[in-house]
Amino acid sequence: MAYKATTIEELLAIMKRVQGEKTLTEFAAELDLSKQYVSNVFNRRKEPSQRLLDKLGFVRRTAYIQSPTAANQEKKK
């Protein structure tokens, strides 16, 4: 099944869905990552690494969006 996440919250929800009934220890072992690291990602203490994203079949894409303050300053010029 293909998943799409545009926010960290969506990615974490997908991770929970993929984890299913598995314990954190089982899920981390399945991903070949430490339980502590996966816990830190779930608790937003760490950003998902490229390795974690690869294991879940995701790629990181970065978007640059102009802030409302900068946009207002551009309009004034």
Angle at CA 5, nearest 5°, toward 2 and 11? 100
pLDDT tens string 15-69: 999 999 999 999 999 999 999 999 999 999 999 999 999 999 998 888 788 888 8
Confidence band of 75 (pLDDT split at 50, 70, 90): low
Domains and CATH numbers, the chain: 1-58 (1.10.260)
Which pLDDT does position 47 carry in this prediction? 93
Token pair listed for 51: 């390795």
Q: What is the pTM of this model?
A: 0.75
Dist. CA 32–CA 51, nearest whole Å = 10
Q: Which amino acid is at 49?
A: S
